[in-house]
Structure 1
Amino acid sequence: MKYFVFIFSFFTAISATQAQEIAFSKIDKSPLDVVIHRDNNNQAIARVIYSRPAKRDRTIFGELVKYGEVWRTGANEATEIDFFYDVTINGNLVKAGAYSIYTIPGEDKWTFILNSQTNQWGTKHDPEKDVLKVTMDSMPSPQTIEEFSISFVEDPDGLILFMGWDDTLVNLPIQVAQL
């Protein structure tokens, strides 16, 4: 019995020491977020999983995120979008499934890229796996957006995917091909 108490005490002391060493200051500075668009019957249509980097007094577009270069559209792992139904984007049919989102920001227009590879680090874009590239309009945001944000808005023809950060907003209309 004394042996058991000794072993239990030993492992308890080690666990307490390890818990004290956890560095909460190393918590991700670009936290993970999820946005889901549902229909009137509460069925999921689309979901985006992404990390939200912060502006932190930096100039974002044109400096931190270069114009004309592929951007992971967030931070950390590649941003992922799941379509639970077939959708149409700019006249192009996109089958239900999971995709990574990349963008190429520009001053007036952006390129939206759907890529068939998922679960990879965001800077590992493989253009051979791109399944869709379409243009999105860029517009100034009415206010500064501190953390990169993605949202869906209901539209009579489907939904609109909005992305915004710093002083920039972009949007992409998406139509549900079937329900």
Structure 2
Amino acid sequence: MKKILAALFLAIFTLSANAQMTALPSGGNKRASVYEQVGLTDITIHYNRPHVNGREGQIWGKLVPVGYVDQGFGPSKASPWRAGANESTNITFSTDVKIEGHLLPAGRYGFFIAYDPNECTLIFSKNSTSWGSFFYKEGEDVLRVKVKPIAADKSVEWLRYEFTNQTTDAATIQLEWEKLIIPFHVQVDLVDNQLTWFRNELRSEKGFTWEGWDQAAFYCASHKINLDQALAWTDTATSVGFGGNRSFVAWSTRAMVLDSLGRSADAMAAMKKALPYGTLNELYFYARGLTKTKQNKAAFDAFKIAYDKFPDEFLSNAGMARAYSAVGDYKKALTYAQKALVQAPNQPNKDIVTKMVATLQQGKDIN
């Protein structure tokens, strides 16, 4: 009989191990994850959410012990808190980041906290697969930082992680539970990450046309970084083989890069190549930018190219009004402004040109 029972037990155990039924996690602690992109960096936290469950005042310093403790199981005799429940909490960064100003390489980490009411120690461990913190080893720590816990205004029933105070290149990650918040600041190198993305993507199908090379170069020119490589990127963008040799955008980006390098004469030469390929909008707003910086002769030439290429249209007439006004010929500017007024496509544009006409009639510059 005992042999029969033993055989049945073995059979049932084997079936159970191979065909586990879906059930709530141990203790009802919900599995959860939170994801945010900070800059171009993907940050994901996987954790289990314990709840207060009527234990107000018994969480911090009691259920979550102070410092490091012997949990009575596993090899670790000095374990931090698992920063959640059940399995160890994991946090993944797709790029290198700085945690509270300290560099942490890209990767997946086990996340632990040595709680203290005055100053908590946050631990990022290369061991991200062990259960809880029973197998914690200090030698596997990649980074430790200290942060001050903050009292919360309202109690949080289920432990949660939130991203707050977000900017283009930083965020604060907060563990919130009961009436306590444990925050830490994450900073990313957005510019370096962006350049890395560009370099990788230009080796993919996005590098088969001029637009990708131009976008990368324009970013560098706008931020005045990586200019030598950006200039090489504009060589590709404006080449015949990549199709940008007849693009106003590609040539004007090259001019921006050259100007950022202090090569003004070369920048002007690049813009001369750009102008014949411009649309009416491109030419008008380029020339408009020149009037704002008082480059009146260059602005006149650009407005004239737009007018000759797109004669007697609203923007070309408005452009010539600005062109003649820039060189002080208000009488001739007025004739073009009056033409533009008749052609205004909508009320906002009509209001703008009406004001231009009135200003020119007073003998004043409309730029």
Report the TM range for the smaller structure's normalisation.
Answer: 0.7 to 0.9
Contact 2:38 2:188 in 1 (8 A): no
CA distance in 2, matches of 1:81, 1:154: 19
Q: In structure 1, what residue type is equivalent to 2:67?
A: G
Q: In structure 2, what residue type is equivalent to 1:47?
A: T
Contact 1:100 1:115 in 2 (8 A): yes
CA distance in 2, matches of 1:121, 1:167: 26
Contact 2:174 2:184 in 1 (8 A): yes
Residues 69-108 of structure 1 mapped to structure 2, 5 A cutoff: 69=68, 70-108=80-118
CA distance in 2, matches of 1:154, 1:94: 20
Find the partner of 1:167 among 179, 188, 196.
179
The percent identity for this pair of structures is 26
Find the partner of 1:52 among 41, 49, 54.
49
CA distance in 1, matches of 2:100, 2:53: 34
Contact 2:45 2:91 in 1 (8 A): yes
CA distance in 2, matches of 1:138, 1:36: 22
Are 1:128 and 2:139 counterparts? yes
Q: In structure 2, what residue type is equivalent to 1:176?
A: V
Larger radius of gyration: 2
CA distance in 1, matches of 2:38, 2:142: 25
Specify every segment of 5 or more residues in structure 2 that has no aligned partner in the other structure, as ranges: 1-15, 69-79, 194-367
Residue in 1 that maps onto 2:150:
139
Are 1:61 and 2:60 counterparts? yes
CA distance in 2, matches of 1:159, 1:110: 19
CA distance in 2, matches of 1:27, 1:89: 33
CA distance in 2, matches of 1:128, 1:39: 29
CA distance in 1, matches of 2:114, 2:61: 11
Query: 1:158 deviation in Å?
Result: 0.5
Query: 1:164 deviation in Å?
Result: 1.0
Q: Normalised by the size of structure 1, how large is the TM-score?
A: 0.80
Query: 1:88 deviation in Å?
Result: 0.9
Q: Which moves more between the two structures, 31-40 or 50-59? A: 31-40
Contact 1:147 1:165 in 2 (8 A): yes
- Runs ≥4 residues deviating over 4 A: none
Q: In structure 2, what residue type is equivalent to 1:64?
A: L
* Superimposed CA distance per residue, residues 12-67 of structure 1 (whole angstroms, 9 cap, x where no aligned partner): xxxxxx9xxx988x522111111111146xx5521100000111111100111111
Name the SS of the counterpart of 2:149 in structure 1.
strand
CA distance in 1, matches of 2:92, 2:175: 16
* Superimposed CA distance per residue, residues 56-94 of structure 1 (whole angstroms, 9 cap, x where no aligned partner): 111100111111221000011110000011101123211
Contact 1:46 1:81 in 2 (8 A): yes
CA distance in 1, matches of 2:36, 2:122: 19
CA distance in 2, matches of 1:39, 1:48: 13
Quick one: higher RCO (CA 8 Å, sep 6+), 1 or 2? 1
Contact 1:108 1:139 in 2 (8 A): no
Structure having the higher strand fraction is: 1
Name the SS of the counterpart of 1:146 in structure 2.
strand
Name the SS of the counterpart of 1:120 in structure 2.
coil
CA distance in 1, matches of 2:24, 2:109: 27
Name the SS of the counterpart of 1:155 in structure 2.
coil
CA distance in 2, matches of 1:91, 1:35: 23
Structure having the higher helix fraction is: 2
RMSD: 2.0
Q: In structure 2, what residue type is equivalent to 1:82?
A: T
Residue in 2 that maps onto 1:3:
none
